[in-house]
Amino acid sequence: MLREERLDYILKKLKTDQKVLQAELSTDLQVSEDTVRRDLESLAQDGLLIKVRGGAIPHSPNPYSFTERILLHEQDKQLMAQKALSLLKDGQTIVLDGGTSTLVLAKLFPAHLKLTVVTNSVPIVAQLIEHPGVEVIFTGGRIFKDSRVASGLDTIRMIRRIRADLCFLGVCSLHPVVGVTGLDLEETEVKTAMVESANRVVAIGTSDKMGTAEPFKVCEMTDIDTIITDKPGDAALQPYIDLGIQVI
């Protein structure tokens, strides 16, 4: 089998199975594991997969601009935000990161809700600034125009001064072994600080984010207490449940 045919086979199998193993590919393709390893490394360098120990897993869905992401999975995000609302109680201090799912959640806050919200998201600040019962604490820092969030050392220092009841984390990628990962190093460092700041961490993400990975680590999967997703009954979520994570 030609190299191009092997690469095409690997990508098709990855799309179908959501993972590939070197040993299985060696048998399927009738080549050595060293050849498979080189093929996986080549595909990883081209940004077509994430290489992990013994095989590879998919990237998260292709990134879009913030404006484009707002329009993606609109109904699913509304559903997830409604679930997240059920976790909120008057008097809580919560952290909202800069994802579009957390922005949808902020838009659904009822007028009677009384919270302190810590966020690095410019759109969430703009959304909540007129809310009668929400005290808004903006982390400050350098603004990333594409994602509309603040980031950097000052942002992290501010978050580390907070002790929150809940952190709602809009996730790029979730994997039961690799953990929570993201596309940008600085933004993942901010998310890590958010995870460490809260008594309970809630990851919000659509089902297409599950079983994927990106280059930069946010936290271990076991640092997540709850996953809110659009398809909680999906069999692909069982590995997370097996880790003791609540899935709703």
> Where among 38, 57, 76 does a domain terminate?
57
3-state helix, strand, coil in the chain (%, to 5): 40, 25, 35
Range of the domain at 134: 66-247
Same domain, 220 and 141: yes
Phi, psi of 40 (to 5 degrees): -65, -40
Quick: pLDDT tens for 190-225: 999 999 999 999 999 998 889 888 889 999 999 999
Query: How would residue 61 be classed by pLDDT, with cut points 50, 70 and 90?
Result: low
Q: Which of the residue ranges 7-11, 209-213, 238-242 has the most confident prediction, judged by mean pLDDT?
A: 238-242
Average pLDDT over residues 97-123: 95
Same domain, 48 and 163: no
Task: Give the residue, 61 or 85, on which the prediction is more confident.
Answer: 85
CA distance 81 to 230: 10
Phi, psi of 98 (to 5 degrees): -90, 25
Same domain, 176 and 73: yes
CA distance 81 to 100: 11
pLDDT at 68 over 70: no
Quick: pLDDT tens for 180-193: 999 889 999 999 99
Question: What sign does the CA torsion over 212, 217, 222, 228 have?
Answer: negative
Same domain, 120 and 214: yes
Same domain, 70 and 9: no
pLDDT at 62 over 60: no
Q: How many domains does the chain have?
A: 2
Furthest CA-CA distance within the chain: 66
Same domain, 232 and 175: yes
Same domain, 31 and 89: no
pTM: 0.80
Phi, psi of 50 (to 5 degrees): -115, 120
The residues pairing with 27 across neighbouring beta strands, listed in sequence order, are none
Same domain, 51 and 155: no
CA distance 194 to 181: 14
For the range 26-32, what are the long-range contacts, defined as Cβ-Cβ under 8 Å and sequence gap of 24 or more?
Answer: 29/1, 30/1, 31/1, 31/6
